[in-house]
Structure 1
Amino acid sequence: MKKIFIGLLLTLSVLFSTSSTTYASDYIFEINSNNAARMQEERIQEIYEERARVQSEMNEGYEEKLEELQKDLESLGVEFLTDSEVKSKLRATGQITPFVETPKSNNITWSSYRNPNWVLNGVKYEVQHLTAESNSKPSTLTDSQTISLQSSSSWKVGLQNFVLTAAKEGVSTINTGVGIALTVYDAVKSFISDSNFTKSTTVSNVKASYTTSFYETIDFMYVKKVGQQDKDQVLSFVTNSMTGKTSWVVPKFSYNKYNGATESVEHVTGTRSFDYKATGHRNGSFAVHAYVDPMFGSHSMVTRVQITGIEDQTVQTIIPRQYKVPGYVK
């Protein structure tokens, strides 16, 4: 029995990078199965997000955790592909033949998942996700950078940001996801035992070293009508997500005590994570609509992540690679 899933009303006005994308506000989607299909897709998405966090944080035992998450995905029907399997996949889709030269290195993890449960206007469609993730080896989907910043004046700790992130999707700010917004007070308060240290306390001579690492995950969505062969698939929609962390070390800074004396604080450290997804990331309904409507648009990308530190100085500006075809990923 069909159960109508009305969770994908597209009321979007986001401008996507490098493509003209038009959305209607009255799209309603059905899933031709029970809620288990939707719940399985949601769980797969959650595991991919967790894999990205584990990669970016690289805590002790992260490789074992990644293997555990891979097994979880495989139990849900996700296949992890070899380079030869990816190359075979790309050759089967004729319209992107000029771009199918796949990398010969082993720094990208490829996986695939199929969902044949999409229905639009009475027609059943299968969406195949081909997902590219960086692994522990260097690739164009990951990077790390360290920078040191020095304060130029004194200021109250509650009024100054210590680290702040902002992400863009084309010209639009991404207001969802997990960002970082941390004041200097919140960054240092746990390292100070002085009960009179408040948000109004003035600090000076702050030098901070920031290290930012990030991982981009790209999802290529192929669509065909249920019953068609893979050679009839069309690469319809591409999305990405950006996950990372910023860590810092403040070797030493000074603050003014309530009695007028100056106190020094040494070796303040910390870490915060960020996670931004493009609109429609891993959402098969976007791929199906793009398949049936050429005016819908072909991709949705996080195009920039800006990280600023003390005194609004730039820590890092991340410009994701935003690959539109799998053959370019390396």
Structure 2
Amino acid sequence: MLQRGMPSTSRGSVADNGPATVAIDGGQSSLRLRVLADGRTGEGPGFVHGGDTVQDTLAAVRQAATDARLDEPVDVVALGLCGLPNDVVQAEALADGVAEVLGATEVRVCEDMVTAHAGALADGYGVVVAAGTGVVCLAIDRDRSWHKVDGHGYLFGDAGSAFAIGRAGLVAVLRARDGRGPATALATAHLDPWTYYSSPTVVDDVARFAPTVLGHAADGDAVAGGIVDQAVADLGETIRTAVATMRPGEEIPVACVGGLFDAGDQLLEPLARQLDDRAALTKPLGTPLDGAARLARGTLQPYDDLVTVHRRPE
């Protein structure tokens, strides 16, 4: 049975670092699992667009559990997932499947934006933008009201994401080779565009070109620099939109998480200049996997309305 935001009471509270408490962060590039008792970790494949979401996710969880040498039954597992099914029947099938794969008593499931927020901000107040292969932003106010910005996927959203940067970079390569666009150091990349069309992981493949674009931008290539500038502008717009949903009168912490921000000050410094006085760019306390661990350990507040809890029948 699926219930919104109701942590278990039948088994009592789960102790910190319990022997069978598990956190999972499922993104587009990979799915990561951590056993909280001893820090064992495992990894499985990321979310695949156009696949069987339930079965693909279960296969990834199974692979990550094997990789982590997880062979004991699990009390509580919390999962933050990209591509979480909106359909109630599919969502329940996914939770049932996770419970079966891990031998879990309780499964707590939410979108990856929730675990990103929970990992980045200590008291659950503020804005978190998670930018990796895709982009999603979550604002949570003091009254626990929340607002999601972007997270619409690579076809209709994910503005400023690694996919968006990678795609723009690949387009620039082809335009330069054709003579339709300006010369760019990006054109030295060895690529056959037709290989992307047949790849089952095309979104992740395209996103993996983003570090090349960032690298050439840092070296002064004008075309790559323009692509990165546009990504920063898009991310700034997303954050400003999220901040505008918050009630006035208090400084709002804004944390940036995800692999795209491994570029550090190359993105963060120009992004900070795009924010208004209410927004304070804040170093995230932890990762989305840390956020999943937080949700697995105990209370779901202030994320009650964003987490679905599944319990196996007694």
Q: One fold, TM greater than 0.5?
A: no
TM-score range normalised by the length of the shorter chain: under 0.3
Q: Which has the larger radius of gyration?
A: 1
User: What is the TM-score of this pair, normalised by structure 2?
Assistant: 0.26
Q: Which structure has more strand as a fraction of its residues?
A: 1
Higher RCO (C-alpha 8 Å, min separation 6) = 2
Q: Which structure has more helix as a fraction of its residues?
A: 2
